[in-house]
Amino acid sequence: MDKPVENKKITFVRFAVRTLAISASTLALFDFLKGEYQAGGLLALGWLTIVIGEKRMFNEEKTNEEN
């Protein structure tokens, strides 16, 4: 069956990181559409870094709560 949905408390840090990720991905897309490939590539790389960092940050937080 389905697993129960855990209530994830959204903190200011989580909100800020998600906002940065959404902004970077949106700006990267717009820069690629405008033809500014260098700026778009750097923003896409920044977005990827933010997403990886977010996963590591919040997965570590989850394992610390279980112990």
pLDDT number for residue 64? 61
Q: What is the pTM of this model?
A: 0.72
Considering the domain boundaries, does residue 9 fall inside one?
A: no
Residues 33-60 have pLDDT tens digits of 999 999 999 999 999 999 999 999 888 7
Are the CB atoms for 34 and 15 separated by under 8 Å? Answer: no
Task: Please report, to the nearest 10 degrees, the dihedral formed by the alpha carbons of residues 44, 46, 47, 51 taken in order.
Answer: 140
Mean pLDDT score of the chain = 85
Domain that holds residue 62: 21-66
Considering the domain boundaries, does residue 57 fall inside one?
A: yes
Are the CB atoms for 52 and 30 separated by under 8 Å? Answer: no
Considering the domain boundaries, does residue 14 fall inside one?
A: no
Considering the domain boundaries, does residue 8 fall inside one?
A: no
